[in-house]
Amino acid sequence: MGQKKWNGVNTSYGTGSNWDPVGVPQTGDDVIFDATSTQDCTLDVAPASLGSLDIQNAYGTGHFDANGEDVTVTGAVTFDNSTGTVSMGTSSIWTIGGSFDYLSVGTLVKGTSTVVMTGGTSETPVNLIGHFQKDLKNLTIALGATVTTPSAANQPQFDGVVLINGGLEIPTGEEFTLNTPGDLQLSSTGSITGGGTIFFNVGTKMTVCEGTFNPGSIQIQRPESIRAFDSVSPWQCDVLVTDSNSATNSPFLLKLSGTVDITGSLTVRAENVSSVLEITNSTNDPDFLIGGDVSLEGDGTVTWDKGTGTITLNGDAAQSVDFADQSVEAIIIASSDTVTFDGGWTATSFSAESGDFDPNGQTLETVGGFAIASGVNLLSSLADADLWDGVALTVGGSFAAQGNPGDDCNLQGDGGWTLDATAAGTVNNAAVSGCDADVGVDITARNSLDGTGNSSWIFQDSGGAGLLLGMI
C-alpha cells in the first residue's frame, strides 16, 4: 500500500483532506506524523488498520489520541515525539505485528488500553522498547509471537494484566517491570526467558504461572499483603524479595500460595534498619521447592511466618541455607549434593531423603521428628569426624538415622555435640562420636560404631546385646 502523511488543519483523522496525499489512510498504508502538520489528531474511524505508524520527533507538541478506537498495525509502531503526547485510549486495543517503540514519547496517556503483540519468532523476535517513567496498561503477547526487550535504558512497564501466551525474552542487563496493581499471567503456551530481571513492584502479583518461567532473576520489591503468587511451573531463576531500601508503609508482607518451585536462590532482604519484611505463609500454606541458596538478611527485620506446608531443598549443586533462627515449615533434604546450614532454625520436622547435609555447628530444633534416610551422610561421601561438632539438636519427636551395612551414617562430632530427643527412635548402621544425649531419652543404636565421648547411647549388636554409655 501507500504512504500517508498527516497534513491536518483540524483534528479529524477521518477527514481525507487532512492527509497527503488526500484520502483517509487505508488498510496497509504507512502512516507518518512529522513537521508537515503539528495539528492534534483524534482517531474518529473504527477501526484504524495500518501497515505502520511512525510519530516522529518533528511532530513537535502534536497530540495523537486513539479516542477509544482500536488500532491494528501489521508492521512497526514508533512514538518518537519527545515534546508531544500520545493517548492510547480508553479500552482501545492496539494490535501490533512489528516492533513497538515508545521510549522517546514526551507524554504517554495509557488509559485502559491493551497492546497485543502478534509478531516475531524465536529466531527473529520483534522489539518492545519502553521507558521506566512511562508505563502502559495491559499487554498480551499472542500465541506464536516472540517479543524481546533489547536496548539499554529500555524498561517497559505495565500496571494492568500482562498475559503471555507466546514468548517474552528479557536479555541480560535488561528489565521488565510490573507496577501496581499489575498481574502477570503466564499461560501454558507462554515462556519468559533470558538473563534479565522481572521487577514486581508494590501491589503486584502473578496469578498464573503455567508455562516456562526462566528469566535471569525476579525482584519482588516492597511486597504488600494483597500480593499472591500461584506457581505451577518452576521459577527457573534467582528470587530476591526486598523492601527496596524504604522504611515507608512498613511492615511489608509477601503472601505466597500453591507450590513455589524456585530452581535458583531465594534471598529475603530488609535493607532499611527500621523496616520489617515478612514472608507470610500461614494464610495460604505454600509448599517450597528451592534449588539454590536461601538467605534471610539485611539491616532490618525479616520474619518468616510459617505455614503448614513444606520446604524441600532439592538443588543439583551445593546449597547454603540460612533461615536466621526462624521458625519454618517441615524441612526436606532431597538434593544431589550437600546442603550446609549457615544459620539455625526451628522446623516442624526434618527429613533428609537424598544427598548430604552439614549441620555446621548450628542450633537446630524440630517440633516433630528428625530422620536421616539410608544413603544420606554416609561415611563414604562425608567422612568428616567433626561433622556434628558444636551442634545443639532438640527433637520434639523421635530421632532416626539409617546407614548401610559397611557404610555407616555419619553422626560424628569428636569436639562434642548435644541431642535432646523427646521420643525414642531408631539408629542403624551409624558411626557416633561426641554426642551427649543426657537431657532427652536414651538413644538406641544397632549395628553401629561407638566412638568416643557418647553419653546416654545404647549400642546393640544384631543380637540385641547392648551397653548404655555414660550411665555405668
The DSSP-derived string for 191-219 is EEESSSEEEE-TT-EEEEE-SEEE-SEEE
Q: Is 404 exposed, middle or buried (0-12, 13-18, 19+ CB in 10 A)?
A: middle
Low-confidence ranges of the chain (pLDDT < 50): 225-226, 249, 463-472
Domain boundaries, the chain: 29-367, 368-472
pLDDT in tens, 150-179: 876 578 999 999 999 999 999 999 999 999
Find all residues with CB under 8 Å of 165, minimum gap 6, and list them: 140, 141, 142, 143, 145, 187, 189, 190
Give the pLDDT confidence score for residue 136 in this predicted structure: 96
Give the pLDDT confidence score for residue 242 in this predicted structure: 85
Give the pLDDT confidence score for residue 461 in this predicted structure: 81
Give the pLDDT confidence score for residue 39 in this predicted structure: 98
Dihedral of alpha carbons 22, 25, 30, 33, sign? positive
Give the pLDDT confidence score for residue 470 in this predicted structure: 47
Find all residues with CB under 8 Å of 123, minimum gap 6, and list them: none
pLDDT in tens, 37-89: 999 999 999 889 999 999 999 999 999 999 999 999 999 999 999 999 999 99
What is the rounded CA–CA span in Å between residue 379 and residue 450?
14
Give the pLDDT confidence score for residue 304 in this predicted structure: 96
Which residue pairs from 377-380 have beta carbons closer than 8 angstroms and sit at least 24 positions apart in sequence?
Answer: 377/352, 377/409, 377/410, 378/403, 378/404, 378/407, 378/408, 378/409, 378/410, 379/403, 379/407, 379/408, 379/409, 379/410, 379/431, 380/407
Give the pLDDT confidence score for residue 250 in this predicted structure: 58
Find all residues with CB under 8 Å of 248, minimum gap 6, and list them: none
Give the pLDDT confidence score for residue 245 in this predicted structure: 52
395 sits in the region (left: phi over 0; alpha: psi -120 to 50; else beta) called beta
The grid coordinates listed for 57 are 520527533
Give the pLDDT confidence score for residue 27 in this predicted structure: 95
